[in-house]
Amino acid sequence: MANKLLHEQQMELNDYASTINQVLNMFSMRKNELLALLKLVKAQDTTAVYDKEMMAQLDKKTLHNIIKVANQIEHMQACQRKDMHERFPMLSPTELDVCRLVEQGLAINDISKALGKSASNVSTVRGKIRKKLGLAQDDDLRRALLNYKNV
């Protein structure tokens, strides 16, 4: 049993390392660049992005790559928002952002952090989405959104 668990853990670590390497290759980044990007992304205060001390630690190539990745992420999010708006024109921009994140499998607390809103606000927005889509309280919102996507 212990060998099986150890083997499963090793497989998980290998998958994790492979995923990291794929991300690094996709964006032509080094590990330290990815770590710097993650620090910037995790910063709750957006002014931290412009922290001169932090930015001074990055070389020009790293900074260029981070900006490149940020632009690609923004483009991807804009495409997702457009797709959501086409499927659900009755929803507000905030509701569309919540839908996009729900589709990605994020929990209420993760959505609230991503959007800079309270968990209760996100919960209220989810309720409004359910109402506009005609869903019952016990319907799985993510599944419903994905079903609309496949129609």
In a domain, 59, yes or no: yes
Q: Residue 25 is encoded by which pair of tokens?
A: 């290759």
Is the Cα torsion angle 23, 51, 100, 127 positive or negative in sign? positive
Supply the CATH number for residue 140's domain: 1.10.10.10
In a domain, 128, yes or no: yes
How many CA atoms does the CB half-sphere of 84 hold within 13 Å? 23
Using pLDDT thresholds of 50, 70 and 90, give the confidence band for residue 41: low
Q: Are residues 47 and 100 in the same domain?
A: no
pLDDT at 94 over 90: yes
Q: Could you list the residue range(s) of the whole structural domain that residue 148 is in?
A: 88-151
pTM of the model: 0.59
First-residue to last-residue Cα distance in the chain: 44
In a domain, 11, yes or no: yes
pLDDT digits (tens, 9 = 90+) for 98-147: 998 999 899 999 898 888 899 999 999 999 999 999 999 889 999 999 88
**Residue 65: CB partners within 8 Å, gap ≥ 6?**
27, 28, 29, 33, 37
